Amino acid sequence: MFAFTDEQLQLRESVRRYLIDHATVSRTRELMDESAGFDRLSFQGLFNELGIGGVHIPEEYGGAGLSYVELSIVLEEMGRALYPSPYLSSNVFAANALLLIGTSEQKAEWLPSITSGERLATVALYEESNRSIVANIEQSVTDQSFTGTKSFVLDANVADVFIVVARDGFDPVNPLRFWLAHSNDSGIQTIAMESIDSTRRIGRVSFENVKVERLGDRNQDHGGFGKFIDFASVALANEMVGGAQWLLESSVEYANHRVQFGRSISSMQAIKHKCADLLLEIELAKSGAYRAAQAIAAADSAFPAYASIAKAAANDAYMQAAADAIQIHGGIGFTWDNDTHLWFKRAKSSQVLFGTSEFHRDQLLDRIAVLEAD
Amino acid sequence: MEWTEASVRNELRSFLEANWDPNSDLLDWRNKLIDAGWGMPSWPERWYGRDMPQSLLSVVAEEFASVGAVTVARTGIRLLAAETLLAHGNDAQRERYLRKILTGEETWCQLFSEPGSGSDLAGSTTRADLVGDHWIINGQKVWTTSAHHADFGLLLARHDWDIPKHQGLSYFILNFHQAGVEVHPLRQMNGHASFNQVFFNDAKVPRNDQIGSSGDGWQIAMTTLMHERRNAGNIFVEARRRGDFEGLIYEHEAEETKVVLAPYTWYPLRAGRVDIVLPRASDTGAINNPAARQEIAKLMIMSRCAEWTALRARAAQQQGQPQGPEGSLGKLAGSNIARQAAKVHTLISGVDAMACGNDSPESGIIAEILLSVPAISIAGGTDEIQRNIISERVLGMQKEPRMDTGPFKDVRKN
């Protein structure tokens, strides 16, 4: 259960090789200044060449029918390469919402085109009231119509469809539900938000009397929102450990070449002990991320606790890696020309999306009964 | 012969059916095991084994456990001594020592660390001078578990001071039953005295009891330490006996185990006793304190992720994948976990953390944890040495420039 199979290792290898060719840092730097923020050609290649548009999506909806473990492998490689694309927002988050909550008609309508890359979808979640606690959403849908503003919407600038998280205004307990809204609705306006992480685009989307379609059946919930958040946290955690690993490797490589006081700084314990500690923290975070992905794949009831472990561990490991990488590089690490800051910024944007470490640690203790029992 | 899981089970089952008797004499039973090769089945046939691959040992352990059969003596340092003799000893030495190691008749200890050489094991200054047919030993060892009841010790000492330090070391079997050896207990900050100091004053080692040749000491010591690490890693694989078994032989075994394991009773405490954190947090209400919750969760995350990392390492190894970094991280992870556990126990206990009498939290266990945790990041290779190993061997970083090359007599010492 804890070792990757040969097929999984091959998948990792092929994604890594594709991204080495198509996601060079110099290309990423160009894209940071462009409005779309991603390379459509290399993005299409994910679907046409690699066939990873729907790793964990059932074959009947055009996916590969594999599990969350394989999806996590793909995401870890994308995180490592800092690959800027709407893959996470569309093929993972939006696809997850459809998979978890959608009716079979909705899945059949949307998943094949998301899986093939023809259509881009994104989940509109954050609003003023829930910057730190993800579930504190206040806006509601009434009479199939939504009016409100969502911010930090990933890849809002390129989305064809929004999956809006809002309360059901007609339901007396006001539960959180997911609603589909077409981006060509005249009541939708999207404004790009500036982010320190230009490799992950965010937007503010205002909805004015926009007609929405309920995702899933009115009377069924299955804890959909909680699952959605946990699945998202695990996906993000796996992406993050890939980025952390890149930072460690680049720091070690730099230290091996940098000479001060007549010797390589890699021979200095102040530097190498930092790297050893970092390796430990990253390996632990990887184990958390992998274990949580396995739990989702196996429908293990402990997955909510593992999701919190995974996200908290990945947050801390990635930020530590980013801070240490800059410190090990010294002055050059603080410059724009050096690549370290690109990963630092990705670490920061990932840290605050879907829950900080403090949030997940607190949540973990509420979920610990499951942990204790196993 | 090629062993398979089925053939191991079949043969061992019929052996146990024919021979195992919980009321037999411990010594008789162990000699029977040794003669049949079921004591250490992975050893060569020539030396009480059956040439069985390591991977099948868990099957053997299961079969023993299922009928409650007692094994050969395996506690303490004895198996490190045996493995070292198997790898580097000569036939006369193997003939003389191996059987009584496995029967439990003779106990061993490891004479490596010295007051002047802790992390720098190769800096040993215990002298070995060849006079006639004997090596004359002078010097001092420390942190020697079980020395107070040992019959023999694995001794690392210096025979040549004019060559570089690793080359001047030799490896001996030291008999404790002689006038030139004195053993004194070493009291620790947590009140226990699990270790000893051993003083050599013209102690004698017959030439026949040198393992390998002069100058092989460092290489042989590495073999011993490799087995120590491997054993430490395998400790949890051992199958537990299922159910309650009764018989005379268990009483004899328990007496032996009690003596040998006495020094290790506080080891779970130095690892931080993570297992009692949540129950205590609930009992004391600390589980509702936001600051405590954060620290408890940090501990749980660290400890869970470390377990999973160990499982990853083992799984990769079993699938024949190359060893990844996850295998070398366990010890450092253990230190971090223990430190965080001590912090959490303190947070939960508040002012109670300084109380250690019978009316203190958990009858003094908490205080004992707090006073035992500082050992874990030192014993068996300090955190700093672990970080050197990880950064150099796993990450490929460079070594510190050395100040201890050249003849050992010219190297700065304590």
CATH code assigned at B386: 1.20.140.10
B44 plus B171 within the same structural domain: no
Which residue matches tokens 């690392």?
A: B156
B146 plus B283 within the same structural domain: no
Which two three-digit tokens encode residue A141? 């849908």
Could you tell me if residue B252 is inside a domain? no
Q: Are A55 and A66 in contact (CB under 8 A)?
A: yes
CA distance A302 to B365: 31
B285 plus B354 within the same structural domain: yes
Closest to A36 (Cα-Cα) out of A173, A199, A151, A177: A199
Does A224-373 match A121-214 at the fold level? no
Q: Does B187 touch chain A (CB under 8 A)?
A: no
Nearest chain A Cα distance for residue B411, angstroms: 21
CA distance B19 to B355: 53
Q: Which fold has domain A224-373?
A: Butyryl-CoA Dehydrogenase, subunit A; domain 3 (1.20.140)
Q: Predicted confidence band at B238 (pLDDT cuts at 50, 70, 90)?
A: very low
- Please tell me the least confidently modeled range out of A38-47, A148-157, B57-66, B176-185: B57-66
What value of ipTM does the predicted structure carry? 0.96
pLDDT for B19-38, tens place per residue?
999 999 999 999 999 999 99
Could you tell me if residue B250 is inside a domain? no
Q: Are B83 and B223 in contact (CB under 8 A)?
A: yes
In chain A, residues with a C-beta closer than 8 Å to the C-beta of B387 are 269, 272-273, 276-277
Which B-chain residues 281-320 have CB contacts (< 8 A) with chain A?
Answer: 287, 290, 293-294, 296-298, 300-302, 304-306, 308-309, 311-312, 314-316, 318-319
Phi-psi sector, B326: left (phi>0), alpha (psi -120 to 50), beta: alpha
B286 plus B177 within the same structural domain: no
Contact flag A279-B325 (C-beta cutoff 8 Å): yes
Which two three-digit tokens encode residue A124? 């509109």
CA distance B112 to B221: 8
The amino acid at A23? A
In chain A, residues with a C-beta closer than 8 Å to the C-beta of B326 are 283, 287
- pLDDT at residue B235 is higher than 80: no
Could you tell me if residue B406 is inside a domain? no
pLDDT for A311-370, tens place per residue?
999 999 999 999 999 999 999 999 999 999 999 999 999 999 999 999 999 999 999 765
B103 plus B225 within the same structural domain: yes
Closest to A117 (Cα-Cα) out of A218, A193, A49: A49
B134 plus B212 within the same structural domain: yes
Distant-in-sequence, close-in-space partners of B131: CB < 8 Å, separation ≥ 6: none
Q: Are A278 and A320 in contact (CB under 8 A)?
A: yes
Closest to B184 (Cα-Cα) out of B212, B225, B148, B220: B148
- pLDDT at residue B327 is higher than 70: no
B390 plus B270 within the same structural domain: yes
B125 plus B218 within the same structural domain: yes
Could you tell me if residue B293 is inside a domain? yes
Secondary structure (3-state) at A213: strand
Neighbours of A219 (CB within 10 A): 6
Closest to A228 (Cα-Cα) out of A289, A160, A178: A178
- pLDDT at residue B236 is higher than 60: no
Give me the pLDDT at residue B233, please: 43
Closest to B171 (Cα-Cα) out of B81, B74, B101: B81
CA distance B71 to B103: 9
B88 plus B218 within the same structural domain: yes
B64 plus B100 within the same structural domain: no
**CATH code matching the domain that covers A6-115, chosen among 3.40.50.970, 3.10.20.30, 3.20.20.60, 1.10.540.10:** 1.10.540.10
Q: How many CA atoms lie within 13 A of A14 on its CB side?
A: 12
Give me the pLDDT at residue B11, please: 96
Residue that finishes a domain, picked among B42, B75, B108: B75
- pLDDT at residue B234 is higher than 60: no
Could you tell me if residue B257 is inside a domain? no
Closest to A265 (Cα-Cα) out of A328, A320, A325, A324: A328
Phi, psi of B324 (to 5 degrees): -90, 180
User: Averaged over B90-111, what is the pLDDT?
Assistant: 97
**What is the DSSP-derived secondary structure letter of residue B399?**
P
Distant-in-sequence, close-in-space partners of B69: CB < 8 Å, separation ≥ 6: B16, B20, B63
Nearest chain B Cα distance for residue A227, angstroms: 20
Give me the pLDDT at residue B240, please: 55
* Count of structural domains, chain B: 3
Could you tell me if residue B261 is inside a domain? no
In chain A, residues with a C-beta closer than 8 Å to the C-beta of B390 are 276, 279-280
Which two three-digit tokens encode residue B2? 């090629």
pLDDT > 90 in chain B, percent? 79
Question: Which tops the pLDDT comparison, A249 or B246?
Answer: A249
B192 plus B299 within the same structural domain: no
Neighbours of A150 (CB within 10 A): 26
Which two three-digit tokens encode residue A370? 């499951």
Beta-strand pair A145-154/A202-211: antiparallel
Structural domain harbouring B312? 266-394
Could you tell me if residue B136 is inside a domain? yes
Which two three-digit tokens encode residue B380? 């068996």
pLDDT for B138-195, tens place per residue?
999 999 998 999 999 999 999 999 999 999 999 999 999 999 999 999 999 999 999 9
CA geometry: angle B150, B151, B157, nearest 5 deg: 85
CA distance A301 to A371: 10
Q: Which long-range contacts (CB under 8 A, 24 or more apart) does B182-186 make?
A: B183/B144, B183/B147, B183/B148, B185/B148, B186/B142, B186/B143
Instruction: Kindly state the helix (H) or strand (E) to which residue A150 belongs, with its residue range.
Output: strand A145-154
B366 plus B322 within the same structural domain: yes
Could you tell me if residue B409 is inside a domain? no
DSSP, residue by residue, A322-343: HHHHHHHHGGGGGSSSSTHHHH
The CATH number of the structural domain formed by A121-214 is 2.40.110.10
Q: Which residue of B lies nearest to A360 if distances are taken between CA atoms?
A: B297
Give domain limits for chain A.
Answer: 6-115, 121-214, 224-373
The amino acid at A61? Y
Give me the pLDDT at residue B241, please: 62
| pTM of structure | 0.92
CATH number at residue B198: 2.40.110.10
Q: Taking all residues of chain B, what is their mean pLDDT, rounded to a whole number? A: 92
